[in-house]
Structure 1
Amino acid sequence: MANRKILAFFPLMAALSQAPVANELTGYAGLEARAFTADPADSIQSDAGISASLSLEYYRDLDAGNQRFVASAFGRWDSEDGERSHGDLGELYWWKAYDSFELYAGVRKVFWGVTETLHLVDVINQDDALENIDGEDKLGQPMVNLLMERDWGTLEVYGLLGFRERQFAGREGRLRASLPVDEGGAIYQSDREEKHIDWALRYSHVLGDWDLGLSHFSGTNRDPLLLPSNDGLLTPYYAQVDQTGVDIQTTRGDWLWKFEAISFKPLGEDRQTAAVGGFEYSLYGIRETVADLGLLMEYQFDDRRGPWSTANQNDIAVGVRYALNNTQDTEFLLAVSTDLDNGSRFTNLEVTHRLDDRWLLEAEARFFGNADEGDPTYSLRNDDYLQLELRRYF
């Protein structure tokens, strides 16, 4: 993979000698405190901890804005879990606009999808599960990406050069499976293992009030199966899969409707499906103020069973988003997801509040209620937690 990165940046070296240029370095330093409300399922796990993080982002424009170099990096130190102390080169890529297409080469983060509570079609990047379990934090993916925008829509082609394995909490860490994961013992279905070259396509188009997306991915599944081993650990198994997805979003007055669905086929197995869809309804100017209230509901369906089972097979998620629209950009998000088969619940509360132009305060609370033994969230039944993070931007 190192050789691929060097080759990807030969055009960049020539571009950096051109002028004029525009560049900017931004980032933040953060301090996080997390406390769990119950004793851990495993006595070796901690009850609370603190961590510190640093995020840096840099871009440099060249060639009158027709070329750009982007770099970003993130690191965290954790007082309790050595595995959560980690770093990642999130992005390091070169972009150039040609007459009829755009070219990206390097390490990037790419997001697909429209729904709030579940991101089915988002398959390019590996989850950064050490940062969060919600699937919204990602690891950088080495790639070459071609983008063509026409009147009939936008076509994107991806060559994904090398695979990023998922990282898991250590023995002392919380928010992990019932047994620790042996990351070093990962098994691959492909003989090329992490060197397998994946590929993906995406077509998107805007038709009036409708945003439409069609995508296809073929390669190493980003979500590993965790298989019990003889030494009392879980071994990640990365299968080869084909996944075709669709995402749709439309606005109708105060209503925002969203839908995602995938057709998922592991190599050598039957095709399976999953979908999530719903709405967000906005109430503007609550009680004659500038505050807005959004009411959201989404239904989650997934017919994958056996080792491919997920926690979203027949679930309903409801929530509210309250934005004060004040100078501090204060916002609250509360969502509750309930399994309609076994009654398991997941509650998520997020609060953000800007203290001034440089300082941001974020709070998070998560609760795993009424967890059924057959539900994938059962191993997290004792991991309800409260979290507070203070960030200083620069």
Structure 2
Amino acid sequence: MSIRHHHPADDAGFDALVQVVPVLVDLVPAGDAFDFPARTLLHAGPPFDAPASVPAAVLNSAAAAAVFEGWAADREDALVRLRSGDLTLAAAQDYRCAVPLASVLSPSQFVQVVHDANRPDRRAFSSLNGGNGPALRLGLPTPNVVHHLRWLNGAFANAIRPGCRRGTALIPIADFALTMGDDLHGRTAAATARLVETLSSGNAWPSMATDFLDASPSFFLNLWMAATKCILSGAEGMQDCSLVSALGANGHQVGIQLAGRPGHWVRSPSSPPRGRLEAGITPQERLPAIGDSALIEASGLGAMGFEHSPPQRESFADFMSHPPAELARALLMAPHPAFARSKARFGLAARQAVASGHDLIVALGIIDIEGRRGRIGGGLWSSTPELFQRALEGLHPTPVHP
């Protein structure tokens, strides 16, 4: 099968995907945004197959969120409740949420609500980016993580909430940012600056909010994860469609869902990203890949879009299997018509991934496997076509007529 001729179901899925118009419309507690399961914390990637599979970093984040919610008195109490089953863990993407790295989402945390302007009942959610301080995504065991959660979901969220409710179209920001050297995953500085300019227009933000955002060039990342989840869901439910609609890792396994089988995870063991580690860190200290931000590569950006970002392309050149533009042509279906300036390609189809023989490349932060030091580097995780082949085996073979 030529990778230049797509299956009719994948063509139909791509046509549906590019009709999605993601718009930021609200900032509300997660428990008010959707039917949040009781005494549950939502994590990145597929569900854990056993309690012993949960990495230390995720346990640390879950404990901090439990204290933040008032479900536990302190970290030790929270860990006891998690181990006993009094508190449970579930996959965020199964609730149309996306969380970064070792983070978890709890019902009192604010989520950015993104809906499809063409079909407002299609929605996706993400927590606020925690910036460069003791952010929940780092999986740290210290009490200041809880303090930061309270500030982020209190004073800060209240300051930016009016701007979030104005209705901000996100593809124009993303398209502009790609022309400015962002890849919309590891590098989002131009997108963050444009977003802050849009949200703050006409609002007198307190200096603490402005100072935090000035020091947080990755703030757009979580929002774009929700936008990406919203976009990819456009093809969900289309029979035999092999477009990837979910992709993430939990530090133990990586999981994928295809649009033709929504809700069905296909998993494989997660390996650590390859990349540059901080001084004194050994390769054995890397946690296997973790985070829902892999969704961005599943759409076609991030490492798959390094051709738009010379700084990222140069930084990761030693770890790339093929030139970024070659990977994008081999793995992604076509340019997204709404990305008129950047002409970014979108649409990762499992059929095309298998036919191409190329690995999917995902840029990820590297987390300390012991859950003590947080982020210890940055690198690339790659998936062989075998994962896509196994996902394809579950699709219905019935032909689809557009």
TM over 0.5: no
Task: From the CA coordinates, give the structure whose radius of gyration is larger.
Answer: 1
* Higher strand proportion (structure 1 or 2): 1
Q: Which has the higher helix share?
A: 2
TM-score by length of 1: 0.26
The structure, 1 or 2, with the larger RCO (C-alpha pairs under 8 Å, 6+ apart) is 2
TM-score with structure 2 length normalisation? 0.25
